[in-house]
Amino acid sequence: MRALCNDGHGGWTDVGDLEEAASACEGQGQFTWLEVDVHRDRTEALEVARRFGLDPLAVEDALSTRQRPKLEMYGRHRFLVLFQLDEVHDQLEDSQIAVFAGNRYVLVLHDGADRMVDEASARVQKVDPEELDVERALHALVDAVVDDYERTAGRLDVDIEDLEAQALRASRTGAKEPAKSAEELPSQSMLYAVKQQVSMLRRYALPLEGAVAMLQEEEERRRDDDDRTDLLFRDVHDHVIRLGAQVRNIDDLASAVVDLIRSLQGDMLNEVNKKLSAWAAIIAIPTLIASIYGTNYKLWPPPGDSKSWGFAGVVLIMLVSGAALWFFFKRKRWI
């Protein structure tokens, strides 16, 4: 557990004791930012929930790491679920961040999402002490998560454009000379990695639009002339909308690249089939002639009844027919 208490004058105190952090928040009215890694120890999370009087249903959701991104309103606090996405072995893995926002505190119960929580904590500590409140802290956390999603989406955008360019090069080459091997096509493993990561972004980033919209509407209802927090949430909401459009565009482009690769693979298979069919036809004609000749009919019996001339004539017919078929299929670009 880690707790940071702000004295309202720009000073932050790192508090390691739960009771001290709770008394600073409740008794002295100081803003408190508290983090608990439930992946390592759930006992502290339960103690924090008991001490701050968190709703049992929300606590149950916070300790269950298979939630969806959402914002729910309870009597004494708001409950927000976010996710940190990390690239591990070319795939995205999620870590849940459950946030309880009260009047003077923000409690973060996360499942090993240290990177995102540390980033949000650093942003909170940079907020002007006169403007610091729960809404500013929530904005710092949500904004950090959305920025991280945008960086991931930007990287995926570059990857899928590279795969698209590689597939288009193979298809344009195929207009004159079809791709000859799978090495000329985009990497199948990389394409799968992009599809998997886009799927994770769709699952965890797109539902944020509804949660951020609710935060924005709530701030607009309580807005006064000196408080511009709703504009901050409006900016984050705009980023989430743009992120959703980008993710859908990447997903559509990835599907188009998959279809193009399948088409190129079909063309490669057709080329193989054409070559096999052409050579089968070339071999079939001499085979037919040889089978007829093997019935001991005397084809082209020359004067003097010489069998050698008949044999030579049949072989010549085989060579001429085979050569004619070879030139025909060569002209048709089957071989």
Residue 315 carries which side chain, given as an amino acid letter? Answer: V
What is the pLDDT averaged over residues 300-322?
Answer: 66
| pTM (two decimals) | 0.78
Q: Where are the domains of the chain?
A: 1-128, 268-331
What local confidence, expressed as pLDDT, does residue 179 receive? 54
Of 14-28, 120-134, 138-152, where does the model show the most confidence?
138-152
Burial class (CB in 10 A: 0-12, 13-18, 19+), 130: exposed
Tell me the C-alpha distance between 220 and 229, whole Å: 8
pLDDT recorded at residue 22: 80
Burial class (CB in 10 A: 0-12, 13-18, 19+), 89: exposed
- Worst-scoring range by mean pLDDT, 17-26, 91-100, 118-127, 204-213? 17-26
Give the confidence band of 248 by pLDDT, cuts at 50, 70, 90.
Answer: very high
Is it the case that residue 164 has pLDDT exceeding 60? yes
| 44-48, 92-96, 329-333: segment of lowest average pLDDT | 329-333
Instruction: Give the whole-angstrom CA distance, residue 93 versus residue 276.
Output: 46
> Which of 294 and 220 is assigned the larger pLDDT?
220
Residue 177 in this model has a pLDDT that exceeds 60: no
Please state the CATH superfamily assignment of the domain spanning residues 1-128 in this structure.
Answer: CorA soluble domain-like (3.30.460.20)
Compute the average pLDDT of residues 261-276: 81
Q: Give the torsion through C-alpha atoms of 154, 158, 164, 165, to 10 deg.
A: 150
Nearest Cα to Cα of residue 78 among 109, 51, 103: 103
Mean pLDDT of 203-208: 90
Tell me 132's DSSP state.
-
Residue 140 is predicted with a pLDDT of 92
Q: Looking at the predicted structure, is the pLDDT value of residue 268 above 90?
A: no
The reported pLDDT for the residue numbered 285 is 77
The pLDDT, as a whole number, for residue 175 is 47
